[in-house]
Amino acid sequence: MNTLHLARELRAQVEQWRAQGDTIALVPTMGNLHSGHLALVEEARRLATRVVVTIFVNPLQFGPNEDFGRYPRTLVDDLAKLEAAGVDLVWTPPVAEVYVNGFPPATTITVSPIADQLEGAFRPGFFTGVATVVAILFACVRPDIAVFGEKDWQQLQIVRRMVDDLRFGIRIVGYPTERAADGLALSSRNQYLSEADRAQAPKVHAALQAVAAGLKAGRRDFDELCAEQTALLAAAGFKPQYLEVRAPSLAQPTADDHDFVVLIAAVLGGTRLIDNLAVSGH
């Protein structure tokens, strides 16, 4: 497994593979890898002959009061996991190698209005940071395929829209959310949970399941359905930020729709948890 830091080294290796007829799959990460990330790698290996993983904690997607400084950086462990998973190349660039003309960059990408709601409403500028860095990673790696986790459903839809609008010609693959046995979506931020909060955290997934059960039973009073579960979470000590039913595209749902995604964000202790659940109402 190659571990590279410079874009020119990355491009040279990718061009060599392309000359051999290889296909390239990219898995972008911010490191601190868990089994959910490794499932993305496994999917990438299934879809392409070469797998590139990027590890870059992107400062552009962190707000002034967010956890950029304390975001866990575990590069040695991450590299060991990726080598065991059969990754061909890991790119771990410094900030100056990603934002070559200085930080913050003069050029950014905004995908509106999809980025202005849900997560975007609570984290202004977050998706501009995500879209910009993903576009840069795509320009550097030039993959045929990129694999993203469905846990970040809104992010996945934003990346898909950006790729379509800007004609990147990259196949974007969403991979189902990896969960702990009690239903909690795997996330690097779960390690911030206290023991007591970790025991409470699965109630986020339970709220999604309850809303999904209502939809499958034919309920279309979306706001009331979500308000019921929001109240239960608040009573359990959570600070819910949003719990909403949307169409899979993130458009507002109608009573005639059959397919939905339920999305949630809630703070427990000092940890912000997000999750979602796709629902077929047929």
For the annotated catalytic residues, the residue numbers are 37
> In whole angstroms, how large is the CA radius of gyration of the chain?
19
Tokens 């010609």 identify what position?
Answer: 169
CB-CB contact of 25 with 42 (8 Å): no
Q: Please report how many Cα atoms fall inside a 13 Å half-sphere around the Cα of residue 36, on the Cβ side.
A: 24
> How far does the chain reach from its first CA to its final CA, in angstroms?
46
Closest CA to 29 of 201, 175, 197, 181: 175
Tokens 């996991």 identify what position?
Answer: 81
Can you read off the two tokens belonging to residue 202? 């699965």
Cβ-proximal residues to 80 (8 Å cutoff; 6+ apart), any chain: none
Any alpha helices (H) in the chain, and if so which ranges? 7-19, 35-47, 75-84, 95-98, 119-122, 126-141, 153-165, 195-200, 203-216, 222-235
The H or E element containing residue 266 is strand 259-268
CB-CB contact of 149 with 175 (8 Å): yes
Closest CA to 138 of 46, 264, 14, 38: 14
Query: Which phi and psi angles does 84 have, rounded to 5°?
Result: -65, -25
CA 35 – CA 40 distance, rounded (Å) = 9
